[in-house]
């Protein structure tokens, strides 16, 4: 038997062994959760007609709800209603960012809050919006506060689990479509939004690595410092998981789109969290505005998640067929279920009926495949933006609107674009120059690759010089 034949045999043995391990881990995760396939996030208020909402969820085929309620007692009222309709309830809780007790903690413990690279604390400064009041995960007092909070919710009888949200730092980089809202451009990491510089964190890092990260010319490029902050968030997540699992409940989270994107954008390395279920918020309308973003993220997540964690996909609900395209992209590429934000947003009767049929068919397909959604098509991330037809069509339409001079124009002028010429490349940013041969106007098209995948794009008119 020649060496080439032996090499091929070894390749096939390793390939199929790897495939077996992947399938086995996914099977164990599926058997472990036994959870609903379709979920929604929902705010609960005592004055809301929760019975009616549960009836609507049951009709649509949504069997799980991540419910945000003001107190443990509110869950004690809501849970029997949900269970009447066969709906599991998981408490959707904010952790590092304060919510219901924000003002109390601000007054009593201003020293608990996160600090940015400029030395500004969220106790007395604002990052983007007023309700961004993130705590510092490195403080023992903060960990104890969060632990007691989680324990109080785990004591609720009938609660199926805990799902943590805002378990991160302030966004050092916002999704690209939100930049105009705040009149900012975040083509790299800037000090004002770069958090995690609490004095206790700085000292702990110095004790571990022997230097102050602030002494670096560009702290954002210090991988040890970035990972250190990710690890502080991971430590708190896994502390919460220990509490949740000790109570016999499931542990879930709603993190940023992929572990790699999340670690860059909010210092959230969630592939290392001890989760039973994960609902990454893959909101394409915040990033590339194209369904290919959902596919790319799901492929990455199936690879990078904790192997014992069941992967779901968090999507924005809409009253259009685009929602079903995105659900297909997720379920065909590794997600075992869907969470939508939120069921209240689905209002069109035709979309409701289609959603009902979709959930029934998806559940049947999953059941017929031993409780695992089968992979469909090529399971490879496409990193070349020029090969993404949907995104290039969006860019062309944006240029047409800019040529017309109106963002609301219904009749767009014809454009004939030149080839794209790369003019800049730094960090996660690539910028190209392109011209419209008809109007002779020039544009910069910029792509952003946070986490190594296409995570945003922008078009700017090039100012003509006299």
Cis omega before residue 237 (within 30°)? no
What one-character-per-residue DSSP string does 165-230 give?
Answer: ES-S---SS--GGGHHHHT---SS--GGG-B---HHHHHHHHHHHSS-GGGSS-GGG-HHHHHHHH
- pLDDT tier at 58, thresholds 50, 70, 90: very high
**What's the CA gap between 126 and 383, in Å, rounded?**
35
Lowest mean pLDDT among 324-338, 349-363, 426-440, 452-466: 452-466
Which helix (H) or strand (E) segment holds residue 324: the answer is helix 322-331
Task: List phi, psi (to 5°) of 111.
Answer: -75, -5
CB neighbours of residue 441 within 10 Å: 16
Rounded average pLDDT over 335-351 = 97
**What's the CA gap between 107 and 65, in Å, rounded?**
33
pLDDT of amino acid 20: 44
Residue 261: strand, helix, or coil: helix
pLDDT of amino acid 379: 86
Residue 347: strand, helix, or coil: coil
**DSSP secondary structure letter of residue 62:** -
- pLDDT tier at 465, thresholds 50, 70, 90: low
Rounded average pLDDT over 280-298 = 97
**What's the CA gap between 344 and 49, in Å, rounded?**
12
Rounded average pLDDT over 445-453 = 95
Instruction: Residue 431: name the closest of 449, 452, 407 by CA.
Output: 449
- pLDDT tier at 378, thresholds 50, 70, 90: confident
Q: Is the pLDDT of residue 174 over 70?
A: yes
pLDDT of amino acid 180: 93
Q: Maximum distance among all alpha carbons in the chain?
A: 77
C-alpha separations of 326 from 4, 180, 218, 296 in Å: 43, 25, 38, 11
The torsion angle over the Cα atoms of residues 100, 105, 111 and 117, rounded to 10 degrees, is 20
Q: Is the pLDDT of residue 113 over 90?
A: yes
**What's the CA gap between 336 and 279, in Å, rounded?**
10
Do the strands 88-94 and 161-165 form a parallel or antiparallel pair, or are they unpaired?
parallel
pLDDT of amino acid 131: 96
pLDDT of amino acid 443: 98
Rounded average pLDDT over 115-144 = 97
Do the strands 442-448 and 277-278 form a parallel or antiparallel pair, or are they unpaired?
unpaired
Rounded average pLDDT over 216-230 = 94
C-alpha separations of 152 from 49, 69, 341, 352 in Å: 25, 13, 26, 36
Q: Is the pLDDT of residue 79 over 50?
A: yes
The residue ranges of DSSP E strands in 256-406, in sequence order, are 277-278, 310-311, 313-316, 338-341
- pLDDT tier at 409, thresholds 50, 70, 90: confident
Q: Is the pLDDT higher at 125 or at 407?
A: 125
Task: List phi, psi (to 5°) of 430.
Answer: -130, 130
**DSSP secondary structure letter of residue 136:** P
**DSSP secondary structure letter of residue 284:** G
**DSSP secondary structure letter of residue 249:** -
Average per-residue pLDDT for the chain: 92
**What's the CA gap between 423 and 389, in Å, rounded?**
22
Q: Is the pLDDT of residue 13 over 70?
A: no
Q: What's the predicted TM-score (pTM) here?
A: 0.91
Do the strands 338-341 and 421-426 form a parallel or antiparallel pair, or are they unpaired?
unpaired
Residue 444: strand, helix, or coil: strand
Instruction: Residue 462: name the closest of 415, 423, 428 by CA.
Output: 423
Lowest mean pLDDT among 86-95, 158-167, 387-396, 457-466: 457-466
Q: Is the pLDDT of residue 432 over 60?
A: yes
């Amino acid at each position: 038997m020649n060496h080439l034949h032996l090499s091929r045999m070894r390749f096939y043995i390793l390939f199929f062994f790897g495939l077996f391990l992947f399938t086995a881990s996914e099977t164990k995760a599926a058997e472990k959760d036994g959870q609903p396939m379709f979920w929604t996030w929902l705010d609960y208020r005592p004055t809301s007609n929760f019975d009616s909402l549960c009836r609507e969820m049951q009709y649509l085929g949504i069997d799980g709800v991540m419910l945000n309620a003001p107190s443990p007692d509110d869950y004690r009222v809501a849970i029997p209603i949900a269970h009447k309709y066969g709906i599991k309830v998981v408490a959707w809780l904010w952790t590092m960012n304060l919510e219901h007790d924000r003002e109390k903690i601000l007054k009593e413990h201003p020293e608990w809050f996160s600090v940015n690279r400029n030395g500004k604390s969220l106790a007395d400064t604002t990052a983007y919006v007023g309700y961004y009041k993130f705590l510092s995960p490195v403080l023992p007092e903060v960990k104890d506060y969060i632990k007691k909070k989680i324990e109080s919710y785990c004591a609720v009888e009938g609660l199926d689990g805990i799902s943590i949200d805002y378990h991160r730092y302030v966004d050092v980089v916002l999704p690209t479509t939100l930049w105009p809202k705040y009149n900012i451009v975040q083509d790299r990491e800037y000090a004002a939004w770069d958090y995690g510089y609490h004095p206790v964190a700085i000292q702990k890092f110095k004790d571990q690595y022997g230097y102050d990260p602030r002494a670096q010319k560009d702290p954002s490029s210090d991988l040890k410092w970035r990972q250190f902050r990710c690890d502080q968030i991971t430590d708190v997540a896994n502390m919460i998981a220990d509490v949740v699992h000790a109570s016999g409940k499931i542990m879930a989270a709603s993190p940023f789109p992929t572990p790699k994107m999340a670690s860059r954008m909010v210092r959230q390395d969630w592939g290392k969290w001890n989760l039973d279920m994960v609902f990454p918020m893959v909101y394409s309308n915040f990033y590339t505005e194209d369904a290919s973003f959902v596919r790319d993220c799901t492929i990455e997540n199936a690879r990078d998640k904790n192997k014992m964690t069941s992967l779901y996909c968090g999507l924005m609900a809409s009253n259009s067929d685009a929602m079903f395209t995105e659900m297909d992209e997720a379920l065909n590429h590794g997600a075992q279920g869907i969470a939508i934000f939120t069921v209240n947003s689905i209002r069109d009767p035709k979309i409701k009926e289609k959603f009902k049929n979709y959930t029934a068919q998806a559940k049947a397909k999953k059941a017929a495949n031993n409780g695992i959604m089968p992979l469909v098509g090529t399971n490879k991330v496409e990193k070349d933006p020029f090969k993404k037809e949907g995104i290039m069509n969006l860019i062309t339409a944006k240029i047409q609107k800019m040529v017309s001079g109106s963002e609301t124009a219904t009749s767009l002028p014809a454009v004939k674009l030149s080839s794209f010429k790369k003019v800049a490349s730094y960090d996660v940013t690539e910028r190209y120059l392109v011209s419209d041969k008809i109007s002779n106007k020039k544009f910069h098209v910029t792509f952003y690759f946070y986490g190594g995948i296409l995570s945003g794009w922008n078009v700017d008119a090039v100012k003509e010089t006299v």
